[in-house]
Amino acid sequence: MIEVLESIALSYPPRSIFENKELMDVFAGIMADIVNSAMKIVDSEKETATRVFRGLSALLSQLRSIASESRAHERFTQLRSTVIGSLSSLGEKIGLGGEVNLLN
């Protein structure tokens, strides 16, 4: 699912992805759902949860770069604020909490 989100995000012209508020809301919702699902499997499938954490962190980093280039900081901040809390919790639970700080 993360790869699907990434391919959608990267197929748009950089600025247009952040111009569509509905698309950003959908992205944020899906990303939050993915993190919440990963939180449920941490104890039984830590490796999978770690891949989810790293994949979403990488996607957020790519989106931050696109937002920076296209001067869409506000939209990125809105997207990030929807996801970062639960992503931080997932990172803490799998022992990678410090990596989330790199997204600030």
Q: Residue 103: inside a domain, yes or no? A: no
pTM, 2 dp: 0.82
Q: How far apart are CA 36 and CA 84, in angstroms?
A: 12
Residue 58 lies in a domain: yes
Residue 26 resides in a domain: yes
Average pLDDT of the chain to the nearest whole number: 84
Q: pLDDT confidence of 103, banded at 50, 70, 90?
A: low
Range of the domain at 87: 2-94
In a domain, 100, yes or no: no
Is residue 45 one of the residues assigned to a domain? yes
3-class secondary structure, 42: coil
Structure tokens at 88: 């931080």
In a domain, 104, yes or no: no
In a domain, 9, yes or no: yes
Banded model confidence at residue 69, pLDDT cuts 50, 70, 90: confident
Which residue carries 């600030």 as its tokens? 104
Number of domains in the chain: 1
Asked if residue 101 belongs to a domain, the reply is no
